Structure 1
Amino acid sequence: MTAQVERRTEIQWLRALAACEVVICHSNLLTKHFTTGTITPSWYQPLSAIGVELFFVVSGYVICMRVGPSQKAGAFLGSRILRLYPMYWIFTSLAVIAYLLNPTWHLNNFAPDFVSMAKSYLILPQMGFPILGVGWTLEYEMIFYGSVAVMLLTIGGSNSAKLLLAWLLAALGAIGIIMGGPPSPMIAGAPGAGSNAILSHIFSPFMLAFGFGWLMRLLEEMKPHERGLNALPFGLLAITPLWLAPEWGLLSSYRIGVASLIFAIFISCRRIFVDDALNRFVWKLGDASFSIYLSHWLVLSACGKLLGRFDIPASFDVPVRIVGIAFSIAVGVLVFVTVEKPIDRRLRRRSPVIPAGKPVPSAL
């Protein structure tokens, strides 16, 4: 048995916000072939693609919500694999097909050898990007899921066990911020940091983001006088890097802190989300967030290459981005309705590790 899973509107808002922000961040794929300019404000550049950290915070919260005291490690991992892998395989295969049709299409410096292919399809930690570039985030998701499975296998899924895991995630994240190597220029903590793929994923700043979401769910179920005491170790571990981390580590702390603050604001204001047309629209975007996330890079890149064939003035940067972003999100929603949702429904009917009924919420 798993814990009772709530379907909450503010979580859907956060998922939709995270997915759309990542699409906006990557909208330069649309315009880079006809303009070298940027519309990104200077204040936003350090927060570019912060939807990734927000996804991780939401993931920590939602997974803590769905893991109950009697949850089995194998069933948990099985449900997570069936949630992520089918859609990821589809879009990874599309990227491979695109490469075979036109080898000049950039695949994040991916080398089409057996080991790299296997790591990409199995979502195993890599020092570089997988075939589907955005799939690097799923490598960290799987590390987080693995830590939850180890907890279930060793000390169970009680609240005290969950609290220990929250503190452990904070420690792993703090060590990653302090000791990790320089990150990729794309985003703090992205592939390229450290010298060992597995260790750089385990000791990653992102573990702090997962841990914060996980802890927030635990604190909700505690009495008011218990919250401060149980949150104190996590807080101390989270702020330690502010004194010991290098400059890039401070950027990681800043990004995770902003994502956590956004998450906390939405959670604390959950009562303002009423059942109206806007919330129903955002709910659909939240449900489609995984499909939006997986598909947007291919959609934006393909559209950008097509636009590059035309003599488009650089002054069209903003309108092209607006239309392209809306189109990419619409494609993601269409993929969710026609591909992801039917696959998910069929797997629920046939798999003993996924509960039947409404889809279980997930960060992605």
Structure 2
Amino acid sequence: MHKEASPSSRVVELDALRGIAALAVVAFHYTTQYGQQYGHTTPLGFGFPPGNYGVNLFFLISGFVIFMTLERTRTAMDFVVSRFSRLYPAYWAAMALTAIFVYLLGMPEQRLSLRDLLLNLTMVQQILGGEHLDGSYWTLQVELFFYAQMLLWFALGQLKRIHLIILLWLGLAMGYGEVVQHRMHFSYLARELLILRHIPFFALGILFYRLHTRPQENRLNCAMMGLCLVAIGVANPPVFLWVGLACCGIFLLFVNNLLAWLRGAFFVFLGSISYSLYLLHQAIGFALIHDLERQGVPSLLACLLTLAIVLALASALTFVVERPAMRKIRSWWRANGLQLKSA
């Protein structure tokens, strides 16, 4: 194992990986999914199906980062405020921008009822029976349910038993997979709340964090990574096993400090806007591509112009809303949290 990188450089590299994964998802949506769902007026002649699996890399990154964060967190409310400030202000602003675009330029099927729009404010609209304003929002619910599970274990003081917790997760995931393979009924609510199809990816991220910080556990962590891959293969279609292996390969490079080139300025910037880019790209992008193609712009140029517009919007959202709101909320909590908790 190479010398451990500093915490700050580690976060920079993970943010850069998020940015690359977000760009891969954008490429998939603008080429492959748009072509399948609506059809480009002039076929592109290519697509990027692997970009669909960028979200699985997100899940590994979240597992790594959330466990690292909780190890440094004093109280449950500190974690709640941290996650709220990171997620919701940018999300609500992105929702407003997306609604403006889809109601002015979008296709009829993109426009939701007022009820569904209001449900989208929660970020868990799918479990509440609502439709997503942007198709990419489904992963946010998955992330929130992972945070909730981790917060519960943290509040119970059980994160020191994380290997047993992961074994429980993997057992449930494999049980779900076996039930589905035998065409038996499995509770939708239990599957979604426990994120059984995705929890092995989060577990891999946690195990890579342990591998990186606790070399004395290497054999145990490597063995459990193998179990995670088995669970992925049982709980998901076969392609996800290859996705899991690819994500593990990327993280092996990362924990061995072989991704230092991701600290370059371009990747740092891409990482900094990755959340806003993910929030804004799909519904707005589809509306823009459709409108540009309708005006006679060639499909490839329409995709490139849309990408440029969405990158500009994501940059504005990051530096005008996301970062200032996060700083203000966290500063307020640091100044007032102790008084509120003792009140």
Indicate whether the TM-score tops 0.5.
yes
Structure-1 residue corresponding to 2:244:
256
Cα offset for 1:353? 9.4
Separation in 2, partners of 1:107, 1:354: 41
Structure-1 residue corresponding to 2:120:
120
Cα offset for 1:143? 0.8
Q: Which amino acid aligns with 2:136?
A: V
Separation in 2, partners of 1:274, 1:263: 13
Pair 1:165–1:178, CA change in 2 (3 A) = same
Cα offset for 1:142? 0.6
Q: 1:49 is paired with a residue of what secondary structure?
A: helix
Residue 214 (structure 1) aligned with residue 206 (structure 2): yes
Structure-1 residue corresponding to 2:307:
325
* Conservation of the 8 A alpha-carbon contact between 2:293 and 2:299: no
Q: 2:252 is paired with a residue of what secondary structure?
A: helix
Separation in 2, partners of 1:338, 1:174: 44
Q: 1:330 is paired with a residue of what secondary structure?
A: helix
| Counterpart mapping for 1:32-71 below 5 A | 32=38, 34-35=40-41, 37-40=43-46, 45=49, 47-68=50-71, 71=74
Residue 149 (structure 1) aligned with residue 151 (structure 2): yes
| Counterpart mapping for 1:189-200 below 5 A | 196-200=188-192
Q: Which amino acid aligns with 2:324?
A: P
Identity of matched residues, %: 24
* Conservation of the 8 A alpha-carbon contact between 1:174 and 1:240: yes
Cα offset for 1:338? 2.0
Structure with the largest fraction of helix? 2
- Which runs of 5 or more structure 2 residues have no equivalent in the other structure? 1-5, 338-343
Pair 1:353–1:72, CA change in 2 (3 A) = farther
Separation in 1, partners of 2:287, 2:270: 22
Pair 1:39–1:103, CA change in 2 (3 A) = closer
Separation in 1, partners of 2:204, 2:335: 27
* Conservation of the 8 A alpha-carbon contact between 1:123 and 1:138: yes
Among 13, 36, 49, the alignment partner of 2:16 is: 13
Separation in 1, partners of 2:94, 2:107: 18
Cα offset for 1:351? 2.0
Cα offset for 1:288? 1.0
Residue 26 (structure 1) aligned with residue 29 (structure 2): yes
Pair 1:176–1:249, CA change in 2 (3 A) = farther
How many residues are paired up?
A: 324
Among 215, 237, 245, the alignment partner of 1:223 is: 215
Separation in 2, partners of 1:350, 1:295: 28
139-148 vs 253-262, which deviates more? 253-262
Pair 1:337–1:203, CA change in 2 (3 A) = closer
Residue 202 (structure 1) aligned with residue 157 (structure 2): no
Separation in 1, partners of 2:208, 2:14: 13
Q: 2:108 is paired with a residue of what secondary structure?
A: coil
